Structure 1
Amino acid sequence: MRKYEDLYRHKGLRNQLINVLREKGITDEDVLDAINTIPRHYFLDSAFDQIAYEDRAFPIGEGQTISQPYTVAYQTQLLQIKKLDKVLEIGTGSCYQATVLAHLNARVYTIERQKKLYEQNKNYIFKNKYPNLKFFYGDGFEGLPTYGPFDKVIITAAAPFIPPKLIAQMKVGGMMVIPVDEANGGQRMLRITKTGENSCVEESFELFSFVPMLQGKNG
């Protein structure tokens, strides 16, 4: 059984990470506080303990990664989370991004298509601290229609297109943050605001690099 410890050394490294995120343009103090509070090393294999607070992605198995802290902060900042927002997350992965959202007092519904990763999250260490976080095994392109509509939707994988079923599950006035493949490589971060039942406004932001968003379930 792994022993989880959040030491002064870890807290000091998180403080350094927050300085890096500020330098890169993250300004939302609530987002920064969440990242400064949540022990990222808990979401990684213990072999990564010494480097868990470097601003980069790490493998978590099944061909997936835990996103770099800047990416987590960037997407979360774009979402403009408000207390009790109902948030659909596509791609649970390590559950780090979902934990940041839950720490911001959102009601988080997170889907994972990789059965092994979904099963691992049944032992989620913060289950009692964040009862506002619900886990689902399924196809992210399908969303969770029975739990919608959602105030916010976040996709944590490279989408080949904007999934229409996820737009349909958003409330009018709701937002989606999604990295979408570009022809010349990489993904453009988009924020889509639903302005009516059949209308949306799209904003374009920086380029990123994500693992691909795949259809169906695996496992």
Structure 2
Amino acid sequence: MDSATSERGNTEALSATADNGLKIVIVGGFGVGKTTMVRSVSEIRPLNTEETMTEAGRPVDDTSAVRNKTSTTVAFDFGRITIDERTVLYLFGAPGQERFWFLWDRLFAGTLGAVVLVDTRRLADSWYAIDRLEHHGTPFIVACNDFGGSIHTPEQLRAALDLHPDVPLIDCDARDRTSSKYVLIALLQHLHALSAAAREPSTS
């Protein structure tokens, strides 16, 4: 991911040999940093569907924990990272509000894996994302976004989110390009480990 082709500002068309597109979805609750992560890590100017929040939406969207939030994603965010001349990651950031959850099932179609982005101050907002991914059988990791430090230990977070021991749990800062790239690397490593385990002959 550190190749020259992955540096910000590279807007050249993909080579005709880039025939391996890998779809990654970033999900989580309202205001956890999904749009920020896509923006920080994408090598192209991300496509986003952010709209200004209005008073009409206040009774629908719970903004009590994100009072400074002035815009919100109403469809999805899209970004891209070139791994090499044949492999590209396509990043989709899902909307977090409950009224847009009906879009998630379609976004999950054809997804290689997912990142569940978590605000540790609002763990309950992540339960639905984890539930839907498990329902679809989509592999995922959990990344805790830095909003000033977590008061929970990793063990407490795993228990609160009811995570399987094999699901990676990492910290990140969605604003930081390097940190966001590390999250994606961790997801790809997790997917590789799952693939390798599936190829191993059964001992039963």
User: What is the TM-score normalised by the length of structure 2?
Assistant: 0.30
Q: Which has the higher contact order (CA 8 A, sep 6+)?
A: 2
Q: Give the structure with the larger strand fraction.
A: 1
